[in-house]
């Protein structure tokens, strides 16, 4: 399971959840500010990060958000303007 910190992602959470479920063919659960992708050992953090970045590119949000891969999770950070 890969955890994504979606605290700074307000309006696009459900769209990201649907996108990841469709593209990765796994179950995605949202619990508070954390999105859990797949089950234990099912997904690699790098693959999930790649698909989150694709989502932002397709939505035209690459200039607004950056995706960081940390030791135990992926974090979505809003760029400062």
Give 8-25 pLDDT, tens digit per residue: 998 899 999 999 999 999
CA 18 to chain centre: 11
CATH number, domain containing residue 55 = 3.30.1360.210
Predicted confidence band of residue 37 (pLDDT cuts 50, 70, 90): very high
pLDDT greater at residue 7 or residue 80: 7
**Do the beta carbons of residue 73 and residue 33 sit within 8 Å?**
no
3-state secondary structure of 21: helix
The pLDDT value recorded for residue 69 is 94
Give 56-81 pLDDT, tens digit per residue: 999 999 999 999 999 889 999 999 86
Summarize the confidence of residues 29-50 as an average pLDDT: 91
Number of domains in the chain: 1
Which structural domain, as residue segments, surrounds residue 11? 2-78
């Amino acid at each position: 399971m890969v955890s994504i910190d979606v605290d700074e992602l307000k309006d696009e959470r459900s769209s990201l959840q649907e996108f990841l479920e469709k593209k990765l063919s796994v179950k995605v659960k949202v619990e508070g500010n954390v999105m859990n992708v797949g089950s234990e050992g099912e997904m690699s953090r790098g693959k999930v990060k790649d698909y989150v970045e694709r989502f932002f590119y397709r939505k035209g949000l690459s200039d607004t958000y950056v995706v960081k891969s940390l030791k135990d999770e992926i974090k979505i950070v809003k760029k400062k303007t």
